[in-house]
Amino acid sequence: MDTLRSILKEVQPGTTSFAPASREEQDMWDFQPIAKILVYAHRNNFLESCVPHKESDSPHGWYDLVIVRGGLTYEGEMFLAKPGEAEKTEKNLEEIIQLSPNIYGIGVNLRALWQRWKNRGD
């Protein structure tokens, strides 16, 4: 979640366009986590608006551009203002979704999910 915090800190002063360094495969590969974090931030109401674009030149369907409009929301500003919030969010996500050796490789901790749902207003 430190990456989420660092990307939100880039958006805060006005960065609106995020793209890979080049169209080379390695640069496109390296950019995917950044694009996914921006989409995650928008879905969790940290960004006013986020417009991701996926390329269609390759079979990968990679993100090749993400435009942020309107900057951070109040929630995004508060997330950056609370120093321990990144660790708390990361811990909650790790408790709910667990990668474990089972049939499909992903397990859901229902107790942690229930606790998060119950405390979602906090």
Residues contacting residue 46 through CB under 8 Å, at least 6 positions apart: 4, 8, 72, 73, 75, 76, 79
Task: For residue range 85-109, list pLDDT tens digits in order.
Answer: 555 655 555 565 554 545 555 566 6
Residue ranges of domains in the chain: 1-81, 83-122
pLDDT-derived band at 72, boundaries 50, 70, 90: very high
Span 28-68, pLDDT tens digits: 999 999 999 999 999 999 999 999 999 988 888 899 999 99
